[in-house]
């Protein structure tokens, strides 16, 4: 796992492991395909030279990369191809208004085009239909000029070249040239009809998936922008209330840390379990902060539970923390009650009263609540935001 600091947002790159894996697999498959083509170059498949299939195979592979490019790791083979020169930039072309035709993305159109060709060839082989490439390349001839013209026009307007788009266009042009050079044959309309049906189904599926992917990316971008806003010092001051120093004997973490976090929770609060689970995860990750816990009452039964929890902490801090982990993960209650100790029971009752007074002074009516460096944060801040606020403070210092 890597961490990157861009001055505003810290983000993790766990997904990069999967992306690099996919890219590696893609490179391996590409090498195998190239070796296979070299071996089969002068062999016959269905009495047709494999050479005639090369633009179809290459177009399918490149259009697949074009469609999945956003899922691939930066610095991979495809990314290097997209930045092969100063004027080459696939993303800039993809993000331009010229990357769509009637609201259909060009990458979806290209991939659907070659998917339909591959499926048609496979189906024709199964049903013994010969000369399948002739009608397929007839379609390429029909669409080649407007497709290539629009692609060139869009890249000229953007003033950037998309090498993947260029290769796809060359594959379509090659298919058109092959059709023109072919001896006149009868066009099999059944293949064209089959191609049209498969193309429309593929296009609808890919476009739907692309729209979902774009929405997910937009939501992620919005969450990043919101996090940037919430981390601004002036916003923190506006969305928080100054409090007195909170006092609690229940605490973990670095006692000398400049970041002091207090969580106010209740044993019967389900949302508090989630918050505690996230704070425990922050502590286990090694984030430097002092963590205090104040226990509040939401039901009459909470009073006895709170005293029991305090008693557990005073008896065995480590065991209490282990029980807290289980509770935060959904266990109904902590382990069976420990043996009673009159002295500790008195201390537990006194501490619970101090908790009640501090909660009353803050005029808190619901749980959980988070206090960071003597500022009670509003509900817009979650426990997941605390990691970034603490990190910001540590970096500034």
Domain boundary among 229, 254, 277: 229
Q: Strand, coil or helix: what is 377?
A: strand
- Domain of residue 86 covers 3-229
Does residue 368 have a cis peptide bond before it, meaning omega lies within 30 degrees of 0? yes
Place of tokens 């766990």: 14
Answer yes or no: are the C-beta atoms of 212 and 134 closer than 8 Å: no
164/265 same-domain check? no
Q: What's the pLDDT at 341?
A: 58
Pairing of strands 290-295, 260-265: parallel
Task: Report whether 248 contacts 292 (CB < 8 A).
Answer: yes
Integer-rounded Cα Rg, in Å, for the chain is 32
Task: In whole angstroms, give the CA distance from residue 172 to residue 56.
Answer: 8
Q: Do residues 373 and 243 lie in contact, with contact meaning Cβ atoms separated by under 8 Å?
A: no
Q: Are residues 209 and 244 in the same domain?
A: no
Contacts of 367 (CB under 8 A, 6+ apart): 264, 265, 266, 269, 271, 272, 296, 298
Burial pattern 164-182, b for ≥16 Cβ within 10 A else e, equals bbbbbbebbbbbbebbeee
Coil vs helix vs strand at 293: strand
Which residue shows structure tokens 């048609």? Answer: 120
Same domain, 212 and 244: no
The pLDDT of residue 288 is 86
The whole-angstrom distance between residue 259's C-alpha and the CA centroid of its chain comes to 30
Q: What is the pLDDT of residue 394?
A: 64
Pair (302, 335) in one structural domain: yes
Match 């379509």 to its residue by tokens: 172
| 206 and 259 belong to one structural domain | no
Q: 179 with 57, same domain?
A: yes
Same-domain pairing of 362 and 244: yes
Domain edge (last residue) among 229, 259, 280: 229
Look up the CATH number of the domain holding residue 300: 3.40.30.10
| Domain count for the chain | 2
Note whether 196 and 182 are same-domain residues.
yes
Q: Show which of 208, 229, 250 is a domain's final residue.
A: 229
Cα separation, 133 vs 113, in Å, equals 14
User: Are 252 and 211 members of one domain?
Assistant: no
Nearest alpha carbon to residue 175 among 52, 85, 86: 52
Are 223 and 370 in a shared domain? no
Low-confidence ranges of the chain (pLDDT < 70): 1-50, 73-75, 332-345, 394-397
Q: Three-class SS of residue 49? A: strand
Asked if 136 and 43 sit in the same domain, the reply is: yes
* Of residues 178, 202, 203, the one with CA closest to residue 54: 178
3-class SS shares of the chain: helix, strand, coil, % to 5: 65, 10, 25
Kindly state whether residues 241 and 214 are assigned to the same domain: no
**Rounded CA separation 299/58 (Å):** 68
């Amino acid at each position: 796992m890597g961490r990157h600091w861009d001055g505003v947002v810290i983000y993790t790159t766990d997904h990069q492991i999967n992306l690099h894996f996919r890219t590696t697999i893609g490179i391996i498959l590409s090498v195998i395909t190239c070796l296979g083509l070299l071996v089969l170059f002068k062999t016959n498949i269905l009495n047709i030279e494999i050479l005639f299939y090369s633009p179809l195979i290459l177009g399918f592979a490149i259009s697949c990369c074009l469609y999945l490019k956003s899922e691939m790791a930066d610095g991979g083979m495809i990314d290097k191809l997209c930045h092969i020169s100063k004027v080459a930039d696939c993303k800039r072309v993809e993000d331009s208004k010229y990357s769509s035709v009637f609201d259909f993305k060009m990458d979806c159109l290209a991939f659907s085009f070659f998917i339909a060709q591959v499926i048609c060839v496979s189906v024709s082989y199964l049903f013994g239909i010969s000369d399948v490439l002739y009608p397929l390349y007839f379609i390429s001839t029909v669409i080649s000029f407007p497709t290539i013209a629009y692609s060139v026009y869009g890249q000229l307007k953007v003033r950037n070249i998309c090498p993947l788009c260029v290769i796809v266009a060359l594959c379509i042009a090659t298919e058109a040239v092959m059709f023109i050079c072919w001896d006149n044959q009868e066009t099999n309309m059944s293949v064209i009809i089959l191609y049209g049906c498969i193309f429309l189904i593929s296009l609808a599926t890919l476009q739907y998936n692309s729209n979902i992917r774009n929405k997910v990316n937009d939501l992620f971008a919005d969450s990043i922008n919101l996090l940037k806003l919430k981390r601004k010092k002036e916003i923190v001051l506006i969305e928080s209330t100054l409090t007195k120093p909170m006092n609690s004997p229940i605490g973990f973490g670095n006692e000398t840390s400049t970041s002091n976090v207090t969580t106010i929770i209740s044993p019967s609060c389900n949302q508090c379990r989630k918050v505690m689970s996230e704070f425990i995860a922050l502590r286990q990750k090694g984030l430097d902060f002092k963590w205090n816990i104040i226990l509040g009452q939401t039901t009459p039964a909470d009073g006895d539970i709170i005293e029991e929890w305090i008693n557990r902490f005073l008896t065995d801090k480590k065991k209490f923390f282990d029980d807290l982990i289980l509770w935060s993960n959904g266990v109904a209650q902590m382990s069976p009650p420990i043996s009673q100790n009159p002295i500790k029971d008195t201390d537990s009752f006194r501490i619970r009263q101090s908790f009640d007074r501090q909660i009353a002074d803050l005029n808190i009516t619901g749980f959980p609540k988070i206090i960071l460096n003597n500022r009670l944060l509003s509900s817009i801040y979650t426990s997941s935001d605390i990691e970034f606020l603490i990190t910001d403070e540590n970096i500034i210092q």
